[in-house]
Structure 1
Amino acid sequence: MAAVRGFSLGKLASVRMIFSVFDSRSTSTREFMRRVTAARVRETNSKCDVTHEVRGDQTPPTVQVRFTDGSEFVLEGASHTALDIIAAINRKSRTL
């Protein structure tokens, strides 16, 4: 739970989530989207561009993150939980 409490968009330039609404593998990506679009989280960096792309094909769910220093981070949603995605972003943010 500490990963969720400390989640901030402060060092993120953009977050893009891609998933198929009909694909059961996209559950964690959709949950991450719900959390990242929450007002409390969005208020941590109003300049962060948060977008999502819903597809109708079997494209694997992914979360693409670009940090303010220009580095990029891509996670496959099918192999991570929403909390794993948040924790990975938090770890990377702390190193910047």
Structure 2
Amino acid sequence: MNRSLLSRELDHQLKLYAAKGGKTSRRSTVRRARRFIAFCQRPAEQIGRRQVYEFFEQHQLSPTTQRDYYYAIALLWRLLGRSGEPPRPRD
């Protein structure tokens, strides 16, 4: 992944998140968060609600996979210090 899209601090926070708790699940969540950032093609700090909507519209994902990506984006939202929650995928 292009490191310029992911700040050193955010990269470190994602690594710390993956290192604790259920390793397999957390690693998968971090991978999904990184894929989402790569999809947006902009620094993570510039990602907003619009990019979340675009991501879910452009990817035909099963409901379970949508849920998993939503949790990964919600993690990213928390790590970036955003208020509230990211938008949920539309049904």
Do Structure 1 and Structure 2 share a fold, with TM-score over 0.5? no
Q: Under a length normalisation based on structure 2, what TM-score does the superposition of the two structures give?
A: 0.33
Higher RCO structure, 1 or 2 (CA under 8 Å, sep 6+): 1
- Larger strand percent: 1
Which structure has the highest helix share of the two? 2
Q: How does the TM-score come out when normalised to structure 1?
A: 0.31
